[in-house]
Amino acid sequence: MSDMTPLEVALMVAGTTGYRVFPSNQQKKPCVKDPFGRATNDKAGIEELFGNFPNAMTAIPTGPINGVTVVDLDVKGGVNGIETLRGLIDDLPPTMLVRTPSGGIHLYFRTGSEGLPSSVGKLGPGIDIRGSGANAISFGSTSQKGMYRWDHSVSGFTWRPAPMPADLKRLIYAATPSSGTQTTNGYTRSDVGERLTTPIVTGQRNSELASRIGYLLKVYSPQEVHDLAHHMNKTLMTEPLILKEVDEVFCSILKRELRK
């Protein structure tokens, strides 16, 4: 795997998992505009996305776009997210596990269309949740520190992650307070997750997109919200707006928020 080019890694990841992917630089930032909207598992699309980035890593969008949430456990600077999680959850099912170059691990769990909130350190030291609007660097990718490796000894040679345990879901929702409603499973659904997964009615496209952009700007950076706006337009509307119109709505709301 270490001899594979970044393009070959991306094709291998998409072919193995079926996940949509996009190129990420060594700072774990997208190499392309609208990465969530352009993420693809199509061979020709991947070749187009990765063709101009010979040193790219493969990023897997998390959340409803791929139906997966990643629990990112860091082990560095005296912090051990693996031990922190063990103190919170007694028993986790075997699932797809990727070891990071810094000694941490990524645990992949199936969450379907449920938009779990992303967070950094809210569950405890060294635990980040990569849910709606986030991404994880895939196995096979090589950073300046080394390679991200799929640990087959944990999940076997199957890419399909285990369903996320109910106890872990409760911890994630509880650690990310929200004024959202209760789901049928008794969890508090995050406002972010609601906005990134609820379909947008055709007659309310502009106003609803503007409302969601305004909220998301309170949570994410302008660049991230710009990408999410295009993602919502592509995935939540039966009749998407033209890209120029999405940009106009985004710029209008961004200017409004900056004036506050």
Residue 251, both tokens: 């710029």
Q: Please, how many CA atoms are within 13 Å of residue 190, restricted to the half-sphere of its CB?
A: 26
Q: What share of the chain is helix, strand, coil (3-state, %, to 5)?
A: 40, 20, 40
Q: How many residues belong to the chain?
A: 260
- pLDDT at position 44 is 97
For the chain, what percent of residues have pLDDT higher than 70?
A: 90
Whole-angstrom distance, CA of residue 257 vs CA of residue 251: 10
First to last CA, the chain: 50
- pLDDT at position 192 is 65
Q: Identify whether the C-beta of residue 4 lies closer than 8 Å to the C-beta of residue 12.
A: yes
Q: Which residue has the tokens 């660097």?
A: 137
Angle 198-204-210 from CA coordinates, rounded to 5°: 75
Q: Where does the pLDDT of residue 90 fall: very low under 50, low under 70, confident under 90, or very high at 90 and above?
A: confident
The β-bridge relationship of strands 105-110 and 162-163 is: parallel
The β-bridge relationship of strands 79-80 and 149-150 is: unpaired
DSSP three-state, residue 44: helix
- Mind listing the pLDDT tens digit for each residue in 177-227? 554 444 433 334 456 667 776 889 989 999 999 999 998 888 777 887 888
Residue 15, both tokens: 């072919």
Q: Identify whether the C-beta of residue 117 lies closer than 8 Å to the C-beta of residue 173.
A: yes
